[in-house]
Chains A and B, each alone.
Chain A
C-alpha cells in the first residue's frame, strides 16, 4: 500500500476539528483513505492498527500535525495533499447571531417578558392545551384553530375571564389589537370605534366601511363564532364590551354577530347600559326593539353599523354612497326573460349571509350551503338551482384545502360552471384583500371571469358579473388597483357588502317585474 505522509511540525489543531477534516478529506476525489490528526500516541496507535504508521510518522511528536493519504487506485496522492491543507485553513463564517427559536409558549414568554398575546393556529386536538399554557403565562390568546370541543372553549374562557385576559376564539380569524391586524384583517385608520365581533368577515367589513367613511378603529376583538351560543354564553363578548368600555381611546362600541341564542342576546344587551358609551348592535336579523330598549343603537346591516359608529364618533354627516339606479336599469334591459337567477360565490361567510338575506327578506327562495332552512340546504357537490348563494369558506367546501381567501381554485371552477346556465342573470362575488389573504385575488380570478363572459356571449346572453372588493387604500394590493382591474374586465363594482345584496335584489325584482 502506498502511503503519502506530510508532517507539519508544531501545527496545533483541536482533535475534534481534525476528525471532521478527516471525514471531509475522505470524501475528496483521488482519496482512498485519508487521516489528518495530531501525532499523539493515541493517534499513532490508530495508524498502527490501520497499518499506516511509517517510521517517519512514528517519530512525529504531540505538537505535530500528520496528513496521511492512501490514494485511490490510479490517483496521485501529491495532488490531494494541497486540497486537504485547504480544508485546514477553511473557517466557518463568523457568527451573525442566529435567532434563538423556542419550542414552547412558556419558554418564549420567559425569554421575552414583553410578550402579551399568543396566536394559536395548531391542530384542534392540541389547540386548547397551548391556549391554556398561554393564559397561564399571562398572555392574551387569539385562537385561529377550529375543531376545539365546546367544553374546552368554556373552560378556557372561564380561565381567561378569571385572569382578565382576552380569549379570542376558537375559530377566530380576525382581530385588530393596538392597530395591528392579526391573521385576516385590513389596514384601517386608528380611531375611536371599538368592535367586538363573533364573525370574521363581518367584522372585517364593518372595520373597512368605517375606514372608508373617514372613521377609525381602536380595537377589534374577535370572540370566535360560538361565543354567543347558549353553551358558551357570550363570555368573551361581554368581557370585550367591558374592556372597550374601560379603554379611553374607544368612544363607541360596535357588536357584530350572527343571531345569538336568545338568553345570551339578553345578557349581552344588558351590558350596554353600564358601558358608559354608545353601543351599536349589528346582530344579523336581530330585533330592533330589544336593542333600543337596552339603550343600544340598532343596525340592520353592516353598512348601517359602520354609519352609526362614525356618526357617533365625530362624523355626524357621514353618508353612504348612493345606489346607481340607472345602472340597474341598464343591466335589467340587457337580460333575456329567462335570466332570473342570481348565483352568489363568496369567500366571506358573513358577506354571503348578508347578500343572501337581502333576497330572503324580499321574499325570494334561496338555496345555500349555509341556509338555516333545511329544505333549502345545498351540498358542495349539488348543482345550483334558482338563486344559489355559496360560502366557499365553509368546511364542506374547503375539505382540507386552504380557505378560499388563500386558495381560490374551487370558486374559479364554479364561476365557469355557472356561466353555462341560461337562467343566470348575474354572478355575485366578493374579493377580500388584506393581511392573510391572497396576494392578488382579482388577478387570479380575471381569466375565469373572461371565460365566463365569453361563454354567455357565445350563447347570445349578457352575463352580469357583480363584485364587491373588501379592502382599503392601505391594503396591499390596494383597493383602487384591484377595483380598476375588475372594471376593465367589465365587472360591476358595489360599494359595500350591504350594497351588494341590495344590487342583487334589485336585479331580481326588476327581472321578475319584466
Chain B
C-alpha cells in the first residue's frame, strides 16, 4: 500500500494503544479496529532484544524456511495405529525397574502428590514393592530409574506413570518412519494416572495387563493398521476437540476395533468385559490421540533454525516445552499452573493439584484447546458461550504458523487446525497456548476431581527465545 494507493483507497485503520481514537475515526465513516495490545515479551527488555535479533532479515528467512518445514512435517505425518504391546517389549530404553512419568525430568523427592501416588501404585502393581509404604521406600532407594515419557518416544496422560508390564498403543508415522507409544485409558476418576492407588486401581491394572491389553494386541494383528489422522479429522467433525471431549473418537475407534476384537481367542465373557470397559467412559480414545500427536511432532523436532514448539508437557511441578531448533532433550521450564474449571461435587479449588500430564501434546499439534471451536458442547469448560470457544481457536491462530489442511473445523468454514506454535509469536502477542485438561487431587490416592483450562507459564517461552537468539543470531 503505497502513499498514492492510500489516497485512492478507503481509509482502513489499525489502531494501536489509545482506544479513544477509534470512536472518532469510526464516526467519520472509516473502518477502524483497535488492537488488544500488550507490550511484547511482557515488556521484558532481554526478551524484546532476543525477538529483535531474530528479526534480522537473513535470520528471519532461515527461520521461516525451517518453520515451514516443521509445519509440513506435522501436517504430513500419517500416524497409524499398528498394534499394542507391553512397555518392556516395545518402548525404547524400557527396563523392569524403569518408571516413566509425564513432563520434564523430575526426581522422586520433588514429585507432586498425584505423581507420587501413581509411582507407588505402579511399583506395587509391578511387584517391585509389597505395599504402598514399601513402595515409597523403593522409590527413594535409588534402584528405580525415573525418566520422562517424552524421552522414550512416549506420552503419558496425567501423571503419565508407565511401568514395564503396562500395555501401550504402538503408533507408526508412515510418512517419516518414527514410532510413538502411550498407555491405555483406565476410564474412571479413581485411577493410577490421577494419583489413586488403592486395591481397586491395582486390580484394574492387572485386568488391563491380562485381558484388555492382550486382546487389543491380538485384535490389531487380525484387523491391521488404523489411520488415526483420518479418524481424528472425523472426530473433530463430530464435535470432539479430542482432549477433554472424546465421545466421537471413542465410538469411531471402537467401531474400527470391534470386528477384530470379536475374532480374538478370548472368551465371550472377557470380550463383554472389554466392550463394557470401553463403553464405561468416553475417554477411551484420549490416549490414542495423544500418541497420534506425538508421532507427528517428533517428526518435526530437531530442524535447525526452527522456532516451532514440538512438546508441551507438565509433571505437576514444572511445565516444560521443547522447541524444534533446540534439538534433543533441551527442556525449557517454568512453574506448573493452576487449572481453572468446574469441579466434581465435594471438591474445592484448593484441593486441586497443579497442571500435570503429557496430554498437552494435543494442543501442541493443534487440537484440544486449540480446536475448541470444533466442540461447542464443551463450552461450559471455558465459562460459557460458543463465541468464547471460537475466540480461543482464533487466538491460537495468532501464535501458530499455518492451518492444517488435513484436519478442519466445519463451524469455521472448514478452517484447518491452528498448527505449529511459534515461540516468537507467543512472546510477540502475549497469547499463551490454551490447554484443556483434567484436574487431579493434589494429594496421592484420590484421583480426578474436575476439568478445566490452563496455560503454560510465560517463563518457558522466554527461556526458549533467549536460547534461540543465542543459537541462531
Contacts and interface: CB of A to CB of B under 8 A. Distances in A.
Interface string A37-72: 000111001100110000000000010000010000
A178 B380 CA distance: 46
A170 to B, nearest CB: 12
A42 B188 contact: yes
A101 B394 CA distance: 9
A119 to B, nearest CB: 5
B61 to A, nearest CB: 13
Given A180-B11, A435-B24, A102 B36 contact: yes
B386 interface: yes
Contacts of A42: 187-189, 280-281
B25 interface: yes
B345 A68 contact: yes
Residue from A26, A34, A107, A249 whose CB has the most chain B CB atoms within 10 Å: A107
B35 interface: yes
Contacts of B431: 103
A453 to B, nearest CB: 33
Contact of B11 (A105, A117, A120, A246): A117
A257 B341 CA distance: 59
A119 B21 contact: yes
Contacts of B52: 129
B454 to A, nearest CB: 15
B188 A104 contact: no
A169 to B, nearest CB: 12
Given A42-B281, A114-B9, A178-B10, A121 B17 contact: yes
A100 B36 CA distance: 10
Given A19-B342, A104-B429, A114-B12, A98 B7 contact: no
A105 B345 contact: no
Interface stretch (A89-97, A345-353, A359-367, A499-507): A89-97
Interface in B267-325: 279-282
Contacts of A119: 13-18, 21
A165 B3 contact: yes
B430 A144 contact: no
A98 B380 contact: no
A389 interface: no
B363 to A, nearest CB: 17
Residue from A19, A187, A436 whose CB has the most chain B CB atoms within 10 Å: A19
Contact of B2 (A36, A129, A165, A182): A165
Interface stretch (A134-142, A305-313, A479-487): A134-142
A118 B16 contact: yes
A164 B2 CA distance: 5
Interface in A77-130: 92-93, 95-98, 100-105, 107-109, 112, 114-123, 125-126, 129-130
Nearest to B446: A49
Contact of A178 (B9, B245, B346, B450): B9
A246 B4 contact: yes
A16 B187 CA distance: 16
Contacts of B280: 40-42
A189 B55 CA distance: 43
| Interface size, B (range) | 35 or more
B375 to A, nearest CB: 9
Interface in B28-44: 28-31, 33-40, 43
Given A180-B29, A239-B3, A104 B398 contact: yes
Interface string A162-184: 01111000000000011111110
A496 B29 CA distance: 29
Nearest to B55: A132
Interface residues of A, number: 80
Contacts of A92: 379, 384-386
A243 B281 contact: no
A115 B21 contact: no
A468 to B, nearest CB: 22
A219 interface: yes
B14 A117 contact: yes
Contacts of A35: 344-346
Contact of A103 (B3, B35, B385): B35
A151 to B, nearest CB: 14
A182 B188 contact: no
A339 interface: no
A436 B429 contact: no
Interface in A143-172: 144-145, 163-166
Interface string B223-257: 00000000000000000000011000000000000
A120 B38 CA distance: 12
Given A20-B342, A181-B28, A164 B16 contact: no
A22 interface: yes
Given A139-B14, A182-B13, A436 B6 contact: no
A474 B8 CA distance: 24
B377 interface: yes
Given A16-B451, A126-B40, A165-B3, A50 B345 contact: yes
B346 A100 contact: no
A16 B1 CA distance: 48
A122 B31 contact: no
Residue from B5, B13, B18 whose CB has the most chain A CB atoms within 10 Å: B13
A145 B17 contact: yes
Nearest to B385: A92
Nearest to A102: B35
A33 interface: yes
Contacts of A125: 39
A434 B43 CA distance: 34
A97 B387 contact: yes
A134 B12 CA distance: 13
Given A117-B13, A119-B16, A140 B3 contact: yes
A247 interface: yes
Contacts of B21: 119, 121, 144, 182-183, 436
Contacts of B447: 49
A11 interface: no
Residue from A36, A177, A219 whose CB has the most chain B CB atoms within 10 Å: A177
Contacts of A114: 9-10, 12, 31
B3 A144 contact: no
A409 interface: no
Contacts of A14: 245, 377-378, 380
B11 A103 contact: no
Contact of A22 (B342, B391, B425): B342
A108 B14 contact: yes
A352 to B, nearest CB: 24
A323 interface: no
Contacts of A164: 2-4
A101 B395 CA distance: 9
Nearest to B247: A14
Contacts of A100: 391, 394
B378 A116 contact: no
Given A98-B385, A163-B2, 13 more contacts: A23-B343, A33-B346, A42-B280, A92-B379, A101-B33, A103-B37, A114-B31, A130-B37, A140-B3, A180-B25, A181-B28, A183-B21, A187-B28
9 contacts: A16-B451, A19-B450, A68-B345, A92-B379, A103-B38, A114-B31, A119-B13, A130-B16, A164-B2
Interface of B: 1-7, 9-18, 20-21, 24-25, 28-31, 33-40, 43, 48, 52, 187-190, 244-245, 279-282, 341-346, 377-381, 384-388, 391, 394-395, 397-398, 425, 428-431, 447, 450-451
Rank and list the top 6 A-B pairs by shortest CB-CB distance, nearest first. Answer: A35-B345, A121-B17, A20-B380, A19-B342, A164-B2, A122-B17
